[in-house]
Each structure stands twice: as structure tokens, then as C-alpha cells.
Amino acid sequence: LHADSPALTAFARQYYRDCYVEGDVDFVFGRATAVYDRCHFRTLDRTDLASAPYGFVFAPSTAGANPRGYLVLRSRITSTAPDAHYKLARPWVPSSDLTAHPMLTVRDSHLGAGIDAVAPYGTMSAGFPWQDQRFAEHRNTGPGARVTIPANRPQLTASEARAHTPAAWLGDWHPHA
């Protein structure tokens, strides 16, 4: 699912509800301001690889000037792959926009056993580590959401989470009303 915008300065807003998306490597990617509400993401088994990671669910490439990237809420991630063989996300800083500052918030969602709970994020390009991006989680459940190494799982406080809502992401556009 290429959730993108037509230009670096266009903060295209997209809303996905009750959707189903499956894939293996960076299968939800792009620079749009996008809300994924009650969606099911399914990672696939890969017979062409002998070891983890098999891939990444999200690869946002949010423009640096955009205050909103991807918001995933009330969703679930399942897998046909072995446990812990997928990463939740990695930042995509394309060569066409080295000022990108990828953003992903996953909240109130169920992360299945296919997600690597110990190290759920990866880095795509050496100069742009995931730790320098805008990645956060809040109140997720499931084996892939276990916080075993807090530094690897940036968590929003309840106060911060109140700003990570569809209304904040979509502004005056109300597709879900």
C-alpha cells in the first residue's frame, strides 16, 4: 500500500478503515498523512529467506515539514511467518527527500507473535537510524507488543496520546463522520 502524496509540500491526508493489507517487505509505505483505523495487517511467510527479519510492515517517509505521518489505531497485525520474524517498521528516507523525518504512531492495537518484540524497529539507511525518527506506541497488546527493552519501544504518555488521534491527523476533513 503506497500511501503517498503528490509532492513534498503536499500533505495529502488519507483514511483507511476496516481494511486488509498483506505483504512482506515495507508493504505499507510513503509520505502521506494517513490514518489506519481498525485495519488488519498480515505478514507472510517467506521460503526464500533462511533467517529473520523477513521484512517490515511500515516504512513511512514523512516529509520533515509535515507534523503528521502514519497513525495506526484499533488495528491488528497477524502473521503466517514464524514468531518474531518481522519488524514493525523502519524509516524510509528516500534520496529524493533527504530532509524526510518519518513518523509512525501505533496505538491501541494488537501486535501478534510475528512481530519482534525485543527489536521491533530497524534502520533502512545508516545515516537515518530509527531512533532519530518519530516512532511511538501506546497501549498495544499481544506478544509482539511486549516491552522487554524500553529503549527499543518508545511509548507515549497518556497526555501525549491525546494528541495522536484521527481528528489531529485529519484536521477539518471528517471521512469517518
Sorted by where each starts, the structural domains of the chain and their CATH numbers stand as: 13-165 (2.160.20.10)
pLDDT score of 31 more than 70: yes
Instruction: Taking residues 96-103, report their average pLDDT.
Output: 94
In the prediction, which pLDDT does 8 show?
85
Length of the chain: 177
Other Cβ atoms less than 10 A from the Cβ of 114: the count is 26
**φ, ψ of residue 144 in degrees (nearest 5):** -80, -5
* pLDDT tier for residue 175 given thresholds of 50, 70 and 90: confident
Pairing of strands 103-107, 70-73: parallel
Maximum Cα–Cα distance for the chain, whole Å? 47
pLDDT score of 177 more than 60: no
* pLDDT tier for residue 176 given thresholds of 50, 70 and 90: low
Total-model pTM: 0.96
